[in-house]
């Protein structure tokens, strides 16, 4: 064993002495080529990951055949009249950054016990207009959809309700510009909701103060956003006689958690056994907006942290063919993206982010990735060289065996010829002809190395 190892060591040493330069050159070229391939794939895949299309064409609603009734829960405030309106004033669709199409959004609201909803896509009036059209054509006895826009920028998110036209986008509006917009909405017969103050604070928006908002003339403050209750601003509203609403702010696969409630005297008054949707035939957009613009209208809300079981579920939803086509690139991009982060800041929905983008590279993990890539590359090279030499060795042995078989055939042929020639002289030859011929043939072939 010892001598075999010494032999193997010498063999490897001689191999690299003869072919070492060629091997190093080949490996270097392969590394450069591999680096070039990665240099092409990485930026393309990262770009597609950061701009990937929606994974689903639409989201399927679980338990859509059920009807959730929130009336068995306690209303936050003591109300002077029983609510007959169950409203979600804040939702998005696929026209901005929502996951549900306008029609699926409508179905989700009907199943979760709403009879009125405001569709407010970010800086886009088209989702609201489309949802209003679908509701009138298909669900006119179930729900009223009022279009609007969530005016979005680096200072605030405002729900402009009743607006069906494009609104000027301003990335950093001044208080004066905000006040001008609020007055414009009022002149159009609509009203304004200030959305999710706590979230805007967490997102780093440069918000006006609540006193400034009050002076600018907002009509409502959103005090419940998804699962967050802004209790301090509830107290502020009560102190300053500012009315409040809730907002599901439906983007992804959110459960239903809250309902804004109020009463419209002109509409049907609900009995406990009446479906919530039975009010809809007695409602119009004009009645709803005029009631909410009336300062004497009391609004409150129902909140349930558990939420309803009727929710959007991507599990059985139709996948976007564009996403499927790009998915290999997207998944590769996600892998590369795990070694760095881009702090984009809050998106303005006007032009880029509200803050400077910062790239944080995980240098230790990236170094580990490069190290392991080189180790695996070298292991593959060694295995390749070993397999290459092993295959040469096997082929060489196989060729030697083949040569021996060929020489054996030559031997048989020469042997038979010798026997025939010497048969005629056997009487005069005292030596055994077979032995002589074999001896002669082997002597001749010994020089060939058989």
User: DSSP class of residue 351?
Assistant: S
- 100, 187: one domain: yes
pLDDT at 438: 45
**Same domain (yes/no): 121, 199:** yes
Structure confidence at residue 386 as a pLDDT band (50, 70, 90):
confident
Range of the structural domain that residue 439 is part of: 368-446
4 within domain boundaries: no
Point out which residues pair with 229 in neighbouring strands. Answer: 224
Is residue 410 situated within a structural domain? Answer: yes
* Residues 398 and 287 grouped into a single domain: no
Q: How confident is the model at residue 131 (pLDDT cuts 50, 70, 90)?
A: very high
Provide the pLDDT for residue 5.
66
Q: What is the pLDDT of residue 417?
A: 63
Per-residue model confidence as pLDDT tens digits over 172-229 = 999 999 999 999 999 999 999 999 999 999 988 999 999 999 999 999 999 999 889 9
91: DSSP letter: B
Say yes or no: 349 and 372 in one domain: no
**What residues pair up with 220 in beta bridges, in sequence order?**
193, 243
Query: Which pLDDT score, from 0 to 100, does residue 69 have?
Result: 93
pLDDT recorded at residue 52: 87
Say if residues 112 and 308 touch (Cβ distance below 8 Å): yes
Condensed to tens digits (0 to 9), the pLDDT of residues 228-259 reads: 999 999 999 999 999 999 999 887 766 789 99
Where residue 443 falls among pLDDT bands split at 50, 70, 90? very low
Determine what percent of the chain is predicted with pLDDT higher than 90: 61
**Is pLDDT above 70 for 4?**
no
Query: What does the mean pLDDT of the chain come to?
Result: 86
Q: Are residues 308 and 434 in the same domain?
A: no
Interior angle at CA 250, CA 248 and CA 251, nearest 5:
145
Cβ-proximal residues to 83 (8 Å cutoff; 6+ apart), any chain: 75, 261, 262, 263, 270, 300
- pLDDT above 70: residue 16: no
For position 136, which CATH number holds?
A: 3.20.20.140
- Contact between residue 179 and residue 216 where contact means Cβ atoms under 8 Å apart: yes
43 and 158 share a domain?
A: no
- Render pLDDT for 87-99 as a digit per residue (tens, 0 to 9): 999 999 999 988 8
CB 302 within 8 A of CB 76: yes
Euclidean distance between CA atoms 330 and 324, whole angstroms: 9
Across residues 284-311, what is the average pLDDT?
A: 93
The arithmetic mean of pLDDT across residues 359-367, rounded, is 92
Tokens of 252: 């992804």
In contact, 256 and 73? CB cutoff 8 Å: no
pLDDT per position as a tens digit, 72-117: 999 999 999 999 999 999 999 999 988 899 999 999 999 999 999 9
Residue 373 and residue 351 in one domain: no
Q: Are residues 229 and 244 in the same domain?
A: yes
Average of per-residue pLDDT across 29-52:
92
Q: Does the residue 7 lie in any domain? A: no
How far apart, in Å, are the Cα atoms of 81 and each of 115, 269, 386? 18, 10, 87
Residue 281 pLDDT > 80, yes or no? yes
Same domain assignment for residues 90 and 130: yes
Judgement on whether residues 84 and 210 belong to the same structural domain of the protein: yes
* 271, 332: one domain: no
Is residue 83 located within the same domain as residue 101? yes
């Amino acid at each position: 064993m010892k001598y075999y190892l010494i032999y193997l060591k010498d063999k490897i040493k001689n191999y690299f002495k003869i072919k070492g330069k060629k091997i190093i050159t080949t490996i270097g070229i392969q590394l450069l080529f591999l680096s070039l391939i990665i240099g092409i794939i990485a930026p393309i895949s990262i770009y597609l990951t950061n701009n990937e299309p929606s994974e689903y064409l639409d989201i399927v609603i679980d338990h859509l055949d059920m009807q959730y009734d929130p009336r068995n829960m306690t209303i936050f405030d003591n109300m002077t009249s029983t609510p007959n309106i169950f409203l979600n004033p804040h939702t998005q669709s696929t026209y901005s950054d929502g996951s549900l199409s306008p029609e699926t959004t409508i179905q989700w609201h009907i199943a979760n016990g709403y009879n009125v909803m405001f569709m407010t896509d970010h800086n886009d009036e088209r989702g609201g207009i489309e949802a209003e059209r679908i509701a009138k054509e298909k669900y006119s006895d179930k729900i009223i959809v009022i279009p609007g826009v969530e005016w979005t920028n680096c200072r605030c998110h405002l729900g402009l309700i009743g607006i069906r036209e494009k609104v000027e986008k301003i990335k950093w509006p001044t208080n004066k510009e905000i006040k001008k917009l609020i007055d414009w909405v009022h002149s159009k017969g609509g009203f304004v909701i200030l959305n999710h103050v706590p979230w805007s604070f967490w997102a780093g928006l440069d918000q006006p103060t609540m006193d400034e908002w009050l002076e600018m003339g907002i009509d409502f403050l959103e005090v419940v956003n998804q699962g967050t209750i802004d209790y301090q601003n509830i107290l502020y509203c009560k102190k300053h006689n500012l009315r409040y609403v809730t907002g599901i702010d439906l983007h992804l696969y959110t459960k239903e958690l809250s309902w804004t409630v109020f009463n419209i005297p002109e509409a049907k008054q609900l009995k406990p056994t009446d479906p919530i949707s039975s009010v809809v035939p007695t409602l119009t957009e004009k009645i709803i907006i005029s009631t909410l613009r009336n300062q004497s209208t009391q609004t409150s809300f129902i909140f349930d942290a558990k939420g309803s079981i009727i929710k959007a579920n991507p599990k059985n939803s139709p996948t976007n063919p564009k996403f499927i086509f790009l998915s290999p690139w997207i998944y590769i991009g996600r892998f590369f993206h795990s070694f760095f982060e881009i702090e984009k800041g809050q998106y303005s929905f006007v032009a880029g982010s509200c803050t400077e983008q910062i790239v944080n590279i995980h240098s230790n993990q990236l170094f580990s990735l490069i190290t392991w890539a080189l180790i695996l590359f070298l292991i593959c090279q060694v295995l390749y060289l070993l397999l290459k030499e092993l295959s040469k060795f096997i082929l060489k042995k196989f060729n030697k065996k083949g040569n021996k078989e060929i020489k054996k055939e030559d031997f048989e042929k020469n042997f038979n010829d010798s026997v025939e020639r010497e048969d005629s002289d056997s009487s005069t030859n005292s030596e055994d002809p077979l032995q002589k011929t074999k001896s002669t043939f082997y002597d001749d072939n010994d020089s060939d190395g058989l």
